[in-house]
Structure 1
Amino acid sequence: MLVAQTVRGTITGEGGEPLMAHIHIHELGKSALADLEGNFSISGLRSGTYHLHFTHMGYKAQTLTVRILEEDISLEVTMPESAFTLQALTVEANPFKNGPIEQSQTIDVIDRNFIERNNTGTFANALEKLPGISTINTGVGISKPVIRGMSFNRIMINDRGIKQEGQQWGADHGLEIDPFDVDRVEIIKGPASLVYGSDGMAGVINIAPGATPDPGTLNGHLISTYRSNNHMFGHSGMLEGNHNDFIFKARFTAQDYENYRVPASQFTYAGFVLPIFENRLKNTAGSERHFSFSGGVRKDWGKSTITISRFSQDAGIFTGAVGIPNSYSLRHDNGHGIVDFPRQDNTHLKVISNTTVQHKNNWLEIDLAYQANRRREESLPHAHGIGPTPEGNLALGLFLDVITGNVRYNTRINGKHQTIVGFQSQHMQNRHAGFEFLLPNFQSTQAGTYYFHEYRWKKNLIVNAGVRVDAAVHRIREHRQPIYERLRPTGEYEQRNPEINRTFFNVSGSSGLSWVLGDDHNLKLNLGSSFRMPTPIELATNGVHHGNFRHEVGNPALNPERSYQADLNYTYSTKRFLFGISPFWGYYDGYIYLSPSGRFSTIPGASTVWNYRQNNAVFTGGEVKTEWVLFSGFSLSVAGEYVYNFNLDTRLPLPLTPPLSVLTGFHYTLPLTSQAFRDFYTFVEYRHAADQNRTDRNERSTAGYDLVEAGFGWESRIGQQSVLVQVSGQNLTNSFYFNHLSRYRLLNLPEQGRNISLSIKIPFRLR
């Protein structure tokens, strides 16, 4: 146990060299920087327990837990050398915030530099470079993350401690996250339901705010990007400051893009072969406008902030995705930047309050939020076989309001024991509008409480265990849809779904360990039993989901899912070599999924019927990654992933399973120091995706493909001003290929062709 009023110390490398490392106190959001001799001092700390994170480029991140009472203390921190950038990042997804070694789950951490180098237009696509992460795409600009073959309501997206709620059940509903407004991401793979809730069955993506600015500073940056495939121009500006521990951060982002290009001249829809004029998909242009503002205080008792953000997207829906297209409707009438019918207008407003308060020697964390998601799909009524309607051109409106409250109390009993007691609650209300129907009006209330305990059995062996209780109530209204004949209402109605009232209750738990063997080996094991309640979408949907090209039908009789999961992770890490392997296994009792029926829908403009079904299933597979620094500045990386699943009832694979994929990369950094070129780097990456022939009944198989990506970047100095430049190219060979998870694959539409990206970033400091 460490006791102090002021924490001071010295930070050195293994060879004794002093390090100007960065020190961050998680609970207070307070930071300090060691001097040239590696010395640091942080004063004015109240009695309590704090977690100090030490980071420095070229060294492994270190974490110390400090118990402050009445005496000063002097620390000597030694940081092992590492040539791997991401090992300089701390892990805070651990509920106890005490470092990556203690965490028993498989966690990847990326920062703003990684996201900016891999930004291809959406936040989800930037994560694809990590093993075990893939995306479901609907054209360009709309993508959703997939962890180990699972997505939608089995993955939680946490933004500043709050679960993002934005119609995540739909593949054509992208994440309402500004990719420029993400400073740090932690991806937890495997069962994470205990602390985060039942939707964390496959994993959790935590979006954490960046470090607060130092006192008396005012700085920011400007970023401009361009992408050649769809002539996308993006601009983002950020300004942040700290005045006497009153902190603020503001950002505005604008993106505009035209119809995107594909290496194809035709596609197939409902048996018809149709042209793609000029190799560009009509009506895939769009624009985005996002803003966020965060303000608050950081004091010795803790910190409190309020963040207001609004994501806005106006995008066209490919004409071939709605109704029965013809050659005339696919022609480019007024240029490539026009957003015409059908179109979607999405906005997502979030108001988030985050407060951390010291209570005696412990910490109380309170997160409160309100979210308003507004999704409007507009189309011409006659294209759907109906006449003029009171709703005008509003085909489908989904208006979701969500109120969330989370409370956690972290207690450090002694040097070996820590506990967390938490409570989470959420109330959501969905309202339907428009002349089409997909999802009824409903209200849903969920609440859960959990207890989590960590025990440091030995210095190199940490174990944890916890239990959770959840309850939920769904109140779903009956919906009766008007029937039209020859574009005229008949006065009759069809019941799309009955009134449904369901109540759920569950107890679940998990346990894990982290064992450090020597200085280079770390073995982690996590076992869990998770629970997921069927959502109102799975219970009651009944309509055409145009972005998915199918008629989806829910099942009011669905029961909750129960999973039994095991996740193993072994890592071997030296200064210049890193190897990690993460096998996983899970048995799912009553796994809920959409299955193709092979029947065509009777609704105009629809394709086949897909039904929500429930069967027992097994998921297994794993990820392998290795990095090797061959010589100074030059590294080789290989990352592979594979998912195998099996429906125990049908004896077939589950639909929409990603194929085996291997990503190989070469990275080279030149330590140039001239004014024109500083820190020059270049990279080449090659991805091989195997054939996916393991498909469900009535699901198409997909041929494998190979992609090449390359790029380079540098920093230039113009006087005292720094300018960062990056150039990269995706699908450089302009390959014709299908992504097995892409919804446009059902139309025989390939992914976008060659794309050259340019990014310029100008950081500035006003004081």
Structure 2
Amino acid sequence: MQSTKLAHGRLASALALALCALPALADQNDPRHAEVKDLDALVVRASPLPQTAETLTRPVEVLAGSRLDEVRASTLGETVNRLPGVQSSYFGPGVGRPIIRGLEGARVQVLSDGLAAGDVSTVSVDHAVSIEPFLADQVEVLKGPSTLLYGSGAIGGAVNVVEGRVPERASATPLEGRAELRAGSGNDERTGMLRLDGTSSSGRLVFHLDALHRETGDYDIPGTAERAGLHEDHDDEDDHAPGEGVRGTLPGSAVRTDSAAFGLSWIADRGFLGAASSLYNSRYGVPGHAHGHDEGHGHDGDDGHEHEHGEAGEDDAVHIVMDQRRYELRGGLDGLGAFDTLRVKLAHTAYTHTEYEGRAVGTVFDNESAELRAELVHRDWAGWDGAFGLQGSRRDFRALGDEAFVPDSQSRDIGLFWIGRRSFDALDLEIGARHDRNRIEVDAATAIGASREVDATSLSAAARWHFGEDLHLSLGLDRAQRSPTAEELYSDGLHVATRSHEFGDPLLRRETANRVELGLHWHRGPLTLGASLYAVDYRDFIYLADTGIEDGGATARLWTQADARFTGGELDLRWTLVDNGSGRWTLRGFGDAVRARLAGDGVREVDFAIPHGDHAHAYTAQLPLSGYLPRIAPWRAGAELRWEGGAWRAGIGAIRHARQDRVAAHETESPGYTLVTANLAWHRDTADGSAIEVFVDGTNLLDEQARPHTSFLKDLAPLPGRSIAAGVRLFF
């Protein structure tokens, strides 16, 4: 314990020295810390065609500058979940993946500067995304099918995190960057980060360096960890009585994360060539699996490190250690005759995810992946500006251990696409097409099913009409296809982290989505209004169905498919109430809703067996072909009041999450809740061109018990209670 405290002290001292010393190295007139005032004017890097959020014909949300600083969280899902139509999965504070319009997992692609993250967060809901939001420059959320750009795994959308680890241009000054120290009350958070970007005197050699360390203990909760009445329907005398259980602090919710990267580029007159190396390591508990551990004692963990109370260690039933090493090579050329630019990106990722049960290793997931992406942007061809693209990837996945419920597999994907745009007097038009071939080869020793090769074709068209400068109407039409993943096809066994037996179906077909969306954007003076309505018809929609059958305390869940329909809408209103000597007062309101139903009739009978030593228990599941889909978030409505005046800015907001009573078979309802947040910051530009910012952020200020319907752990692990975080940021 003493060595841990000394390490914490050395970390804090080093970062404090960095905060004090680095401004002296910065250029006297560095504008890098200038605040982003108009997010709609930022160029969206996820598209090969340079466009802003305002000019894109398809729906997109962008976070950057102070707006990103105010919502940064330990997971990517939590960082973006205040945007209309975007929510987060939840498997404890270490795991949160974006959910876009009710779609998640293998349908939402998570990208690092346009390339897949390379983790295995789509394999299971307890696997974390290997991207650190605190190191992001910009976060872009593409809502609706993005298969045209990013293939089968983006049929529900994509989230692109712009980190700039491979510099593409010289920095504005010889050295610039930012640093941050923060501490939180609700989980004893301690976070420190540092980023540096520099350019040689010749302007040709550019480097990037970033590092982050975060530690949190088990977080505070209002009420009990387990939902009241959870065991009312069970007769086992060993079950907890209703309302009993852990109170005040949620065991198994500690997180420790380390991330670092170094990149170096050569900048030429007409292009660049650069490379980067990065690591991401996270250790986090799985709440709901360790309610009986002994509190208050330090101990030696399985990795040889001493842990204080609050960290995931030997007394926890399940905790996870993940480690990722990533290497990237990127290059670009400009001015190639009939072509504007050529961009080539290559990434290789080695990822390991280890699930511990106490000190014993339960399951190890190894994932080695490589991805190549090339984009060639052409000039005016018969009135069309556009881009050709090639994307290829491979993934070698291995699972080791007695509870490796997913067999070893090798995935190979190749895709070709073209996207083009053209503007008329009052009309912007964008069209595109893509074809992918996906192949999955399974270890023959599993004898579960044959290898699969599936072709997928996607088509897209979008139009925007300009009715003057104030009103824009948009229409989007898409036909997108997705190939089933190895997890959906071949899962077969007990998954301890989710307390379930998962069974895939090797005969699953590709799914096809047909989408139509109407959008409106209107702005007049201080008022801006955005709205959209959409409907998506899925043929052969693949989902994980709960059978209602329990065996050995674990629920049986089957991957199956049926036709489905998603319908929904979003509303976003921004109104500048006052802009005078008292400051700038802005009111924002938003709401979103999605309904997802199976579109068939009757039931489907599926036979399966759960092995027990040298014998097996046989079951027959009745899977309905109608009704609601599982884990779909209810409607939300939120409001936020912001004020900016001089060196100060502040905001307070609330989001009401409705009760979810439209539930799937064998799924419990979820009560509604309201989350209130607030922030206050003081920003000062110094005489040497740098800037300092002191901030205070509050979350769940009403200390309300919140159980998101999207979470597998909603009945065992509520969201954190009231928490106050404070810290200092330095820009130089």
TM norm structure 1: 0.80
Q: After the TM superposition, which residues 178-257 of structure 1 pair with which residues of structure 2 at under 5 Å, given as runs?
A: 178-210=132-164, 212-214=169-171, 216-243=173-200, 244-257=203-216
**How far is 1:134 from its partner?**
0.3
Unaligned runs of 5+ in 1: 1-33, 37-54, 59-83, 381-391, 481-496, 672-678
Q: After the TM superposition, which residues 141-152 of structure 1 pair with which residues of structure 2 at under 5 Å, given as runs?
A: 141-152=94-105
Residue-by-residue CA offset, 1:295-336 (whole Å, 9 max, x unaligned) = 102222112221221110012233x427xx6x4x36554352
1:670 is aligned to 2:637: no
Residue-by-residue CA offset, 1:126-171 (whole Å, 9 max, x unaligned) = 1112101100111213211100000101011121221123112221
Q: How far apart in 2 are the matches of 1:344 and 1:469? A: 37
Q: How far apart in 2 are the matches of 1:578 and 1:246? A: 43
Which residue of structure 2 aligns with residue 65 of structure 1?
A: none
Q: After the TM superposition, which residues 339-350 of structure 1 pair with which residues of structure 2 at under 5 Å, given as runs?
A: 339-341=312-314, 342-350=318-326
Which residue of structure 2 aligns with residue 365 of structure 1?
A: 343
Q: How far apart in 2 are the matches of 1:95 and 1:434? A: 42
Q: How far apart in 1 are the matches of 2:500 and 2:715? A: 10
1:166 is aligned to 2:133: no
Which residue of structure 2 aligns with residue 425 of structure 1?
A: 392
1:376 is aligned to 2:330: no
Pair 330,661 (structure 1): closer, same or farther in 2 beyond 3 Å: farther
Q: How far apart in 1 are the matches of 2:99 and 2:169? A: 31
Aligned residues of 2:433 and 2:457 also touching (Cα < 8 A): yes
Residue-by-residue CA offset, 1:686-729 (whole Å, 9 max, x unaligned) = 11111101110001111111121112111246764632011011
Which one of the candidate residues 565, 588, 593 is aligned to 1:642? 593
Q: How far apart in 1 are the matches of 2:255 and 2:356? A: 14
Pair 347,548 (structure 1): closer, same or farther in 2 beyond 3 Å: same
Which residue of structure 1 aligns with residue 613 of structure 2?
A: none
Q: How far apart in 1 are the matches of 2:172 and 2:678? A: 40
Which one of the candidate residues 673, 693, 710 is aligned to 2:678? 710
Which residue of structure 2 aligns with residue 476 of structure 1?
A: 442
RMSD: 2.4
Q: How far apart in 2 are the matches of 1:56 and 1:251? A: 20
**How far is 1:183 from its partner?**
0.3
Q: Secondary structure at the match of 2:681?
A: strand
Runs (4+) of structure 1 moved beyond 6 Å?
55-58
**How far is 1:120 from its partner?**
2.8
Q: After the TM superposition, which residues 346-745 of structure 1 pair with which residues of structure 2 at under 5 Å, given as runs?
A: 346-358=322-334, 359-362=336-339, 363-380=341-358, 393-413=360-380, 416-456=383-423, 458-478=424-444, 498-602=448-552, 606-632=553-579, 633-649=584-600, 650-671=625-646, 679-716=647-684, 720=688, 722-745=691-714
| Corresponding pairs, count | 644
Aligned residues of 1:432 and 1:440 also touching (Cα < 8 A): yes
Q: Secondary structure at the match of 2:148?
A: helix
Q: How far apart in 2 are the matches of 1:108 and 1:221? A: 24
**Aligned AA (2:323):** T
Aligned residues of 1:570 and 1:582 also touching (Cα < 8 A): yes
Q: How far apart in 1 are the matches of 2:89 and 2:296? A: 27
Q: Secondary structure at the match of 1:698?
A: coil
**Aligned AA (1:95):** P
1:131 is aligned to 2:109: no
Pair 624,186 (structure 1): closer, same or farther in 2 beyond 3 Å: same
Q: How far apart in 2 are the matches of 1:290 and 1:512? A: 39
Residue-by-residue CA offset, 1:452-488 (whole Å, 9 max, x unaligned) = 22222x13312122222111111112566xxxxxxxx
Q: Secondary structure at the match of 1:637?
A: strand
Residue-by-residue CA offset, 1:37-84 (whole Å, 9 max, x unaligned) = xxxxxxxxxxxxxxxxxx9979xxxxxxxxxxxxxxxxxxxxxxxxx6
717-726 or 629-638, which deviates more: 717-726
Identity %: 23
159-168 or 592-601, which deviates more: 159-168
Unaligned runs of 5+ in 2: 1-28, 299-307, 601-624
Which one of the candidate residues 257, 260, 267 is aligned to 1:288? 257
Residue-by-residue CA offset, 1:643-691 (whole Å, 9 max, x unaligned) = 01110122201001011001100011112xxxxxxx2011110111111
Which one of the candidate residues 252, 266, 275 is aligned to 1:306? 275
Q: Secondary structure at the match of 1:180?
A: helix
Q: How far apart in 1 are the matches of 2:683 and 2:46? A: 32
Aligned residues of 1:634 and 1:668 also touching (Cα < 8 A): yes
Pair 470,709 (structure 1): closer, same or farther in 2 beyond 3 Å: same
Q: Secondary structure at the match of 2:80?
A: helix
Residue-by-residue CA offset, 1:267-292 (whole Å, 9 max, x unaligned) = 26775227555521223223111001
Q: Secondary structure at the match of 1:701?
A: coil
680-689 or 119-128, which deviates more: 119-128
Aligned residues of 2:257 and 2:281 also touching (Cα < 8 A): yes
**How far is 1:266 from its partner?**
5.2
Q: Secondary structure at the match of 2:477?
A: strand
Aligned residues of 1:112 and 1:182 also touching (Cα < 8 A): no
Residue-by-residue CA offset, 1:208-254 (whole Å, 9 max, x unaligned) = 24585535521222201111111010000111111213211101100
Q: How far apart in 1 are the matches of 2:444 and 2:723? A: 47
**Aligned AA (2:277):** I
Q: Secondary structure at the match of 2:670?
A: coil
Q: Secondary structure at the match of 2:497?
A: helix
1:763 is aligned to 2:731: yes
Q: How far apart in 2 are the matches of 1:514 and 1:708? A: 36
Q: How far apart in 1 are the matches of 2:369 and 2:108? A: 18
Q: How far apart in 2 are the matches of 1:375 and 1:532? A: 26
Q: How far apart in 2 are the matches of 1:257 and 1:223? A: 16
**Aligned AA (1:349):** R
Pair 353,615 (structure 1): closer, same or farther in 2 beyond 3 Å: same
Q: How far apart in 2 are the matches of 1:559 and 1:354? A: 36
Q: How far apart in 2 are the matches of 1:234 and 1:111? A: 20
393-402 or 410-419, which deviates more: 410-419
Which residue of structure 1 aligns with residue 620 of structure 2?
A: none
Which residue of structure 1 aligns with residue 74 of structure 2?
A: 121
Aligned residues of 1:283 and 1:336 also touching (Cα < 8 A): no
Pair 564,760 (structure 1): closer, same or farther in 2 beyond 3 Å: same
Pair 250,360 (structure 1): closer, same or farther in 2 beyond 3 Å: same
Which residue of structure 2 aligns with residue 42 of structure 1?
A: none
Aligned residues of 1:101 and 1:514 also touching (Cα < 8 A): no
